[in-house]
Amino acid sequence: MDNFLLLGVCFLLGVGLRVGGIIDEHGPAALNAVIIHMSLPALAVLYAHDLPLGPELILPAAMAWIVFGVGYCLFVFLGRRMGWDRPTVVCLALTGGLGNTSFVGLPMIEAFFGPQYLGVGMLCDTAGSFMVLAVPGIILAAGASGRAVSGRELIRKVLLFPPLIAIVVGFALHAVPYPAWLTGMLSRLGSTLSPLALVSVGLSLRFDAIRGAGRELLVGLGYKLLLAPVLILVLYFWGLGQTDMVAKVTVFEAGMGPMISGGIVAMSYGARPRLAAIMLGIGVPLSILTRPLWYWLLMAL
């Protein structure tokens, strides 16, 4: 409950700072830079270090890649028919194609399934959502930035994306135990992600933008909250015959709201920042409300 109260308070704080004129339109860009260069790398170094490197990694990690890939293809297909530009498609891919599998996902797993399944959520997040954002996500974002990007520059942006470097460092140090002071420092730095991100969302959110983005919002949230978990449910349960608790928790994670970090990257690269803010501002609370329904369905199967 504390996590959700923190989300709400930080979001409302961002709205208040914007409405009160305390922070101007450049404020979100500054916060996003701090998140991408400090908060995200700290979490990546922390979580990648403890991930198991074995077959148990495959199904939870693959979920994010499948959801993102299918979502991107869907958004491109619909975008051609609805006349959406490239930044709109990329924005939907980074928000509707990536889930909030950590800050919201982990507390939800603990509340509904128990702390023994938190490891599944971490696999979904670090080996899944984090890696998708760091590689194909940043490639799409850079391509939608509105300026010509050469292949060499694109590769440089991907390889120098701070969270990707942090993931590589975390995996490289897999055999080296972290001292307590380092774990504590990384945890504290990483804990700034969601508060700063929700302040940034509140600063960027313009509810009047919903009027001109109703279809995009409906498609993005419809896919993320409904079609994505149904896709993973059908594929894992009936396609692969996996019906154990790991598969159920993975499906549960597939229906989480838009990834806050994905929205921040979309805003940072100019991929429909206001649409990204609306996707987060509406999608995250909606996903929390739908969790009991998905838990009841999964436990009934």
Which amino acid is residue 217, in one-letter code?
Answer: L
Rounded Cα gap, residues 167 and 48, in angstroms: 6
| Higher-pLDDT residue of 81, 142 | 81
Here the tokens at position 59 are 């199904």
What tens digit of pLDDT does each residue of 49-71 get? Answer: 877 666 767 899 899 999 999 99
pTM assigned to the model: 0.81
The tally of domains found in the chain comes to: 1
- SS percent in the chain: helix, strand, coil, step 5: 80, 0, 20
Rounded Cα gap, residues 127 and 50, in angstroms: 11
Query: Which of 301, 284, 294 minimizes the C-alpha distance to 112?
Result: 294
Rounded Cα gap, residues 101 and 105, in angstroms: 4
What mean pLDDT is reported for the chain? 86
Range of the domain at 37: 2-300
Contact 227, 221 (CB under 8 A): no
What tens digit of pLDDT does each residue of 162-217 get? Answer: 877 888 898 889 889 999 999 999 989 988 877 887 788 778 776 666 777 789 99
Bridge partner list, 99: 258
What CATH number did the domain enclosing 209 receive?
Answer: 1.20.1530.20
Q: Which residues contact 211 (CB under 8 A, 6 or more apart)?
A: none
Confidence of residue 2 (pLDDT cuts 50, 70, 90): low
- Which DSSP string do the residues of 83-99 spell out, in sequence order? T--HHHHHHHHHHHSSB
Contact 165, 41 (CB under 8 A): yes
HSE of 39, CA atoms in CB hemisphere, 13 A: 18
Query: Which of 7, 188, 246 minimizes the C-alpha distance to 104?
Result: 7
Residue 36 is classified by DSSP as: I
User: Is the CA virtual torsion 106, 98, 261, 197 positive or negative?
Assistant: negative
- Which DSSP string do the residues of 43-54 spell out, in sequence order? HHHHHHHH---S
Q: Which residues contact 276 (CB under 8 A, 6 or more apart)?
A: 91, 94, 95, 204, 263, 266, 267
Contact 62, 288 (CB under 8 A): no
For the segment 7-33, the average pLDDT, to the nearest whole number, is 82
What pLDDT shows up at residue 130? Answer: 83
pLDDT higher than threshold 60 for residue 75 = yes
What pLDDT shows up at residue 247? Answer: 93
Bridge partner list, 258: 99
The length of the chain is 301
- Give the number of other CB atoms < 10 A from CB of residue 171: 16
Rounded Cα gap, residues 128 and 196, in angstroms: 23
Contact 295, 233 (CB under 8 A): no
